[in-house]
Amino acid sequence: PEGDFDYDVVVLGSGPGGYTAAFRAADLDLKVALVERYESLGGVCLNVGCIPSKALLHAANVIDEAAHMAEHGVVFGEPEIQIDPLRGWKDQVVGQLTGGIAGMAKRRGVDVIQGTGTFSGDHAMKIEGEDGEKEVSFRHAIIAAGSQAFKLPGLPWDDPRMMDSTDALELKDVPEKLLVVGGGIIGLEMASVYQALGSKVTVVELTDQLMPGADKDLVKPLQKRIEPRYEAICLETKVTGIESKKDGLHATFEGKKLPDNTVFDRVLVAIGRVPNGNNIGCDAAGVEVTDRGFIPVDKQMRTNVPHIFAIGDIVGQPMLAHKATHEAKVAAEVCAGHKSAFEARVIPSVAYTDPEVAWVGLTETEAKEQGVKYGVGKFPWAASGRALGIGRSEGFTKLLFDEATDRVIGAGIVGPHAGDLIAEVALAIEMGAEAADIGLTIHPHPTLSESVAMAAEVFEGTVTDLY
């Protein structure tokens, strides 16, 4: 469109999608504004998501490892949890990163505008900040307004003992008895943290497995490890109500396995996230939003309004930071006139539990549902010298290959560092690697990465007796 605009690109929201889009657009010489309602940049991921959760999970892992070494002749005393410095360390990690984002915005000449943005037209956004309201006009807009925790209605949310993931990450204290509603990635990560810090944890999950979406066999080693440590893991069970009383939160359940304990000091609800599409004035810009608040986009991340783009959690599943950043680069490049498109074949998923659970491409369940003819190469970590050396033989690496072409089409890995290991398979899938390409690649010994090559060799039949 012709005309003078304040900015070439206005980006709404400063999460991994938003800041990546803003920086890429600025690097491509566009004049960019980044609108964020909070003082701290970085969105959910940096402030109340990926980063603080991983810092706390690291602490949890150290506690568990130290306890585990007692079996092998290295005995530490009981850990003393000093909650204030622990929280302070987590906040410092977050602060370092969010401050870094602000610095990078400044160096690139990106104008950060603090305030709540809503569209006031198809080339204009109104921003309500502390010092009043202003309006900016844009040639292009990129919506990266993300998502928020779904607050199950009917629960006593005005009781401060009720938590969503943001509250849980605040780490105000360590409750004695914690109920985690939802056995997905976020619920289980937070459960790991609080269990390691000393809480008695009960997990309730509606479906018949933890981490729905992953193959069942992949989740088994995790379940086996955490089951004895937790008060209870109740599958095919739901919470039907929670009543706030003076002595605790009284929960009622329905389903296959009812927990013995029904009174909790805190309840964490982690049953999904809702996109923010309905809160940003899309109507005024003519941008289509689904009933659930998602914004449909094409491969170039364009909404139905061709000069307005959307990226990240707000465009749909999977709600993951690395998907948001990838989409962000596409949107920014298209704004700059490049012919970019979102063409990733696969997006890896990782649960940073202990053991980690990671998968990419087709799961076996999906392959079966889609009638794909596939073969499996599975390498048990009990046959890996490195896994034994770190005292963790419960993991495995499983690769799925297309039977006709031998190309790798999916993978699941469970065990420590599975999240790092899965990246190799994502690359292999993107490059159309065949089993022999992986099996013939020399992997360093002794590493867990060898398990990927071994799984390929198991599929090819070049390794039969594992050594």
What are the residues whose beta carbons fall under 8 Å from the beta carbon of 415, sequence distance 6 or more? 221, 355, 356, 381, 387, 392, 394, 395, 396, 397, 448
Residue 192 CB, shortest distance to ligand FAD, in Å, is 12
Of 182 and 312, nearer to ligand FAD (C-beta) is 312
Of 152 and 436, nearer to ligand FAD (C-beta) is 152
Residue 94 CB, shortest distance to ligand FAD, in Å, is 12
> Can you give the length of the chain in residues?
467
Of 106 and 245, nearer to ligand FAD (C-beta) is 106
The sign one gets for the Cα dihedral 9, 11, 14, 19 is negative
For residues 276 and 249, give the distance between their C-alpha atoms in angstroms, rounded to a whole number. 29
Range 175-178, long-range pairs (CB < 8 A, 24+ positions): 175/199, 175/264, 175/265, 175/266, 176/200, 176/265, 177/202, 177/231, 177/248, 177/261, 177/263, 177/264, 177/265, 177/266, 178/202, 178/264, 178/265, 178/266, 178/267, 178/268
Closest CA to 121 of 142, 143, 136: 136
Spatial contact of 439 and 448, defined as CB atoms under 8 Å apart: no
Residue 256 CB, shortest distance to ligand FAD, in Å, is 27
Residues that bind ligand FAD in the complex, under the rule CB under 6 A: 12-18, 35-38, 43-45, 49-50, 53, 116-118, 144-147, 165, 186, 276, 279-280, 312-314, 319-322, 324, 352
Which candidate in 68, 250, 338, 445 is catalytic? 445
Whether 445 is catalytic is: yes
Residue 417 CB, shortest distance to ligand FAD, in Å, is 14
Of 422 and 454, nearer to ligand FAD (C-beta) is 422
Residue 262 CB, shortest distance to ligand FAD, in Å, is 26
Q: In which element (H, E) is residue 235 found?
A: none
Of 8 and 327, nearer to ligand FAD (C-beta) is 327
Residues annotated as catalytic are 445
